[in-house]
Structure formats: structure tokens, C-alpha cells
Amino acid sequence: MLLIPLIWTALFHHRWESACVVVAIVVAEIVISVVQSAPDAVIVRRVLLWAALGALLAVAAHGLRDRVRHSQDANARLQERIGELMFLEDRDRLAADLQGSVVQRIFAAGLKLQGAASQTAQPEVRRRVESSVTDLDDAIRLLRQAIFGLEHRLGRLSLRQQVLRPAPPRPMVAS
């Protein structure tokens, strides 16, 4: 019966609270032994036994809580790193896909327009075609900036990442 408060305190409260409960258990055992008129040797043995048992339980429970907390912190860091690596992998895949298809097609269209501009003698048509080529070059530059500028948004999580991210660990300490 005396160990129930100690176990509860060790599992859900601070170390100093566990120490107070160990002291209270030892005091309770001293009072019980004195009331029963036990010999001094029995009282000393009981006090030492209960103090040792209480201290052992408190130290073990708090050590276990510390290891669990460190494990949860390490797990959170690993999950964050995995998210970053997945993001970088997706960005690289997207960049390769865009480079392989979209950027090359826009570049080819720009080259065709430049070729067409060189074949016309009308200055207004030439100016418009060259303006379109410049716009296509700007579009390619913007695409590349969008792809490689994604790393500036690493801190922001998408809805999918927020849903897939594990819930934060619940605090074990009652306040």
C-alpha cells in the first residue's frame, strides 16, 4: 500500500516529488514500527529496506522516463530529417522532369522563333518575335528559380506532410 504513491509519483511527477514520497514512506514505516513497539533492530531494518526500495523504484522509473524522452526526441529529429530528404528527392525529381521535357520544349520553341525572326524583313514582326523569345527565356529562368528556390520553403509543411507527420509526444509530467 505504501508503494502505490511512490510508483505514481515516479511515473508522472518530478524527481523532487519522488524524493518527498520516499521520505514520507520511510516516516510512515517508522511510525508504524514504533506504534507496534518493534525492537530497534527491526525498525532500522524496515527503514533501510523501505528507503532502499523506494529509492530504487524512483531512480529506475525516472531513468526509464528520461530514456523514453530522449528516444522520442531522437525519433522526432529523424522524422524531420527524413522529411527534408524526401523533399529534396522530390525537388530533384521534379527538376529532372521539367528539364527533360518542359524547359527543353520552351527552349526549342524559342530557337524556332529566333530562326523565324531572322527570315523576316519586317521590323515590327522581328521585334515581336524577339520579344516573345525574351519572354520564353524569362519563363525558363522563372521555372528554374521556382524549382531550386523551393529549399527556402523547407520550414513550411504541406498538408500531406502535416497529416503524415507523427503526433508530438504527450508530456508525461503532470503539472
CB 56 within 8 A of CB 126: no
pLDDT given at position 80: 92
Using the predicted structure, report yes or no on whether residue 6 has a pLDDT greater than 80. Answer: no
Q: Is the Cα dihedral 51, 52, 53, 57 positive or negative?
A: positive
Q: Which residues contact 169 (CB under 8 A, 6 or more apart)?
A: 69, 72, 76
Whether the model clears a pTM of 0.85, i.e. scores above it, the answer is no
Helix (H) or strand (E) segment spanning residue 175: none
pLDDT given at position 73: 94
Using the predicted structure, report yes or no on whether residue 31 has a pLDDT greater than 70. Answer: yes
Q: How many CB atoms lie within 10 A of CB 31?
A: 10
What is the tens place of the pLDDT at every residue in 99-140? Answer: 778 888 888 888 888 888 888 888 898 899 889 889 988 888
Q: What percent of the chain has pLDDT over 90?
A: 9
Helix axes 15-35 and 40-97, enclosed angle (nearest 10) = 160
pLDDT-derived band at 81, boundaries 50, 70, 90: very high
Using the predicted structure, report yes or no on whether residue 154 has a pLDDT greater than 50. Answer: no
pLDDT given at position 75: 94
Q: What's the whole-number mean pLDDT along residues 71-79?
A: 93
Average pLDDT over the chain, rounded to whole? 77
Using the predicted structure, report yes or no on whether residue 52 has a pLDDT greater than 50. Answer: yes
36-40, 68-72, 112-116, 131-135: least confidently modelled range = 36-40
DSSP three-state, residue 104: helix
Q: Which of 58, 68, 50, 71 minimizes the C-alpha distance to 13?
A: 58
What is the number of residues in the chain?
175
Q: What is the 3-state secondary structure (H, E, C) of 33-75?
A: HHHCCCCHHHHHHHHHHHHHHHHHHHHHHHHHHHHHHHHHHHH
